[in-house]
Amino acid sequence: MSPVLAVLATTVIGVMVGVEFSVAFVINPITLALPADASMAARAHGARMLGRVMPFWYFGSLILTGALTAASWGTPAAALALAAAALLALSVILSITLLVPINNRSAGWTPDDHPDDWREQTRRWDSFHYIRLAIIVAAFVMVAVAATVG
């Protein structure tokens, strides 16, 4: 296995996990506690900003983990890397089917134009995000372990 690939995959996924952890436990609780207009504006801006970046990050992490799997094939690290790739693929599917639709709607919300259940939709997004976060944390741990045993 290439040590450079192992470090790169671990770093990219680790930073992604850190950002998503921050979204779940810092940013979104702060924005949800704001008055409605400010909360909506903050969530909409975050949806637009992260919505542009995260697809590349998620797919990039999956590609790096796939490459790590291939590079470590035949070693004990391969099974861990493959399991991590499967979890990252699951996180992409979860994102596309459950989180992105809510994110896309919320990106356009304004104080004058939003659904009555906007807070419920943001809480639903947060619930799905916690599940996705658990999945990518598990994938990160597997990649980190694979990088050390390969």
Chunked mean pLDDT (size 10), the chain, 150 residues = 91 97 96 93 92 94 97 95 98 97 93 92 96 98 92
The SS3 call for residue 72 is coil
pLDDT score of 37: 92
Please choose, from the candidates 137, 100, 135, the residue with its C-alpha nearest in 3D space to the C-alpha of residue 17.
137
Residue 88 CA from chain centroid, whole number: 9
What pairs with residue 110 in β-bridges?
Answer: 113
Dihedral class, residue 74 (left if φ above 0, else alpha if ψ from -120 to 50, else beta): left
Where b means 16+ CB within 10 Å and e means fewer, 65-91 reads: bbbbbebbeeeebbebbbbbbbbbbbb
Looking at residue 10, what is its pLDDT?
97
What does the pLDDT read at residue 1? 64
What pLDDT is stored for residue 150 in this prediction? 64
Amino acid at 45: H
The whole model's pTM is what? 0.93
d(CA 31, CA 53): 20
